A and B are shown apart, each in its own frame.
Chain A
């Protein structure tokens, strides 16, 4: 092998990227006192105290539940509406398709903070502050363009011949969408759903702005607002970071290939 240095480099990179993850997990199981000592690389003492405190005292299951409800609802709505829209944008002929697609792209470039002032006023006027609906609707502002964008990329790759054959045989567009396109496209739809879910799970600024307390706060906001009485409760914060990330790790491990395809296709395929 001529490129020997690359494998050394690869090891170094893996170490750099993985070590903080390892360190977080190890520290979340370390007794509070030992967090402030010279840290051994391999923890000598393990404790579940931080995790216990997290769920017993801080009721961290609440924000986890909220994250799950809001992310799932937003993802489902975005994928259903997104699939219909993406089918129309890729398979049906009508004027203004390119313009619509450009609009979707423009919306996905929007800085989230720009939407906070008007959405806040709108949600306040409709009494939706601190409700699930009041989070799901704002989430759709990024989840829907994202899923349309990913699905358009995927639908374009499906061979049009299959559908043409069905149409010539007298099937209607709706029948062909249901019986031909959806069964073919489900891997792409699943990929779009996974990525949309990840983006919803990680969302921060809307959840921070449009909730008032732990009853409706999502997990990322809940950990960011952790405070201790006397000092920073590092043990619990790290345990919370681990718990918040666990569902994501499960998704990544299970769908690693799809996520990579979805991420790169969205950016690469013209």
Chain B
């Protein structure tokens, strides 16, 4: 590449200007993300318990991490979180695909349909978690009412005190909230598929099912991967939904890693240990993110258009 002296000066000026334009954003990110992250790593190497200030803040190396590895409550929370990710994201992808296919066929009332399906996504999670707690409430809940009336249950079920059944409202609320979001991502993918492929398949007499398996799904794969990664990352970090719906209970039966980290922090005030947990959660999320970037072919990061 040959650059004239003039272009080189322009490039130099560009780089200079870029520094100034990036300064506010990078300064803020460094202050509210970079610095806290470094502090967190440093903190995780110390014993820092606000309940026992007389212990000071001695350096203890990796002891917090060793504790976390053998902490049964942390391991259980990790299992809960992974299971929650698998179950809810699977349901959301399948539901979202069906919804996206159904929406593609819609000719009338598309805008209204979009508003309706955007609503569950846009409602604050704390509010929707309460709504689902109300629906599954033992006395006032609609779910019990419907199930008893339909003779699917003999007596009203007390959902939120059962360690396994308490997961049902959580998963239901998450699926309700995010399936529309997945559907929108997939719908955008569907609209990029060349219609002539379907026309050709129809001339060849393909059945709708084969169209789905042989045209739609393979061509939709990039959109599915993106939706999967977005949702998996989000579901792994689940906090408000569970905090408001069950508070992690009964006991710790529905506790996620975010919830456990939070309780180690603000209820037990074990800052060093909570920081170690945070580092682990961060590393896990980051790993998932890297896999995602790898799978999506890194195109998200290319600067060229």
Please list the residues of chain A having a beta carbon within 8 angstroms of any beta carbon in chain B: 2-3, 6-7, 9-10, 13-14, 16-18, 20-21, 23-24, 27, 35-36, 38-39, 77, 80-82, 84-85, 87-90, 92-95, 97-98, 100-102, 104-107, 109-122, 137-138, 140-141, 144-145, 148, 156-157, 173-174, 198, 201-202, 204-205, 208-209, 219-221, 223-224, 232, 234, 237-238, 240-241, 244-245, 248-249, 251-253, 256-257, 259-260, 263-264, 267-268, 270
Contact = CB atoms under 8 A, between A and B. Distances in A.
B33 A38 contact: no
Contacts of B266: 116, 120, 209
B258 A113 contact: yes
Contact of B115 (A9, A241, A252, A267): A252
B127 A111 contact: no
Given A2-B208, A92-B15, A270-B299, 17 more contacts: A14-B116, A17-B176, A20-B131, A84-B24, A98-B302, A105-B301, A106-B289, A113-B237, A116-B278, A118-B36, A122-B36, A144-B25, A205-B240, A208-B243, A223-B126, A248-B123, A256-B115
B301 to A, nearest CB: 5
A144 B176 CA distance: 28
B240 A110 contact: no
A116 B243 CA distance: 15
Interface residues of B, number: 102
A36 B130 CA distance: 16
B281 interface: yes
B102 A10 contact: yes
B249 to A, nearest CB: 15
Contacts of A80: 24
A21 B120 contact: yes
A257 B31 CA distance: 35
Interface in B194-248: 208, 223, 226-227, 230, 233, 236-237, 239-240, 243-244
A118 B145 contact: no
A111 B285 contact: yes
B85 to A, nearest CB: 13
* Dominant secondary structure at the A interface: helix
Contact of B265 (A116, A137, A173, A260): A116
Interface string B175-188: 01001110011011
Nearest to B299: A270
A23 B120 CA distance: 13
A100 B22 contact: yes
B15 A6 contact: no
Which one of B31, B36, B113, B302 has the greatest number of beta carbons of chain A within 10 Å?
Answer: B36
B105 interface: yes
A88 B18 contact: yes
B233 A109 contact: yes
Contacts of A113: 237, 239, 258, 261-262, 278, 281
A208 B19 CA distance: 36
Interface in B86-101: 98-99, 101
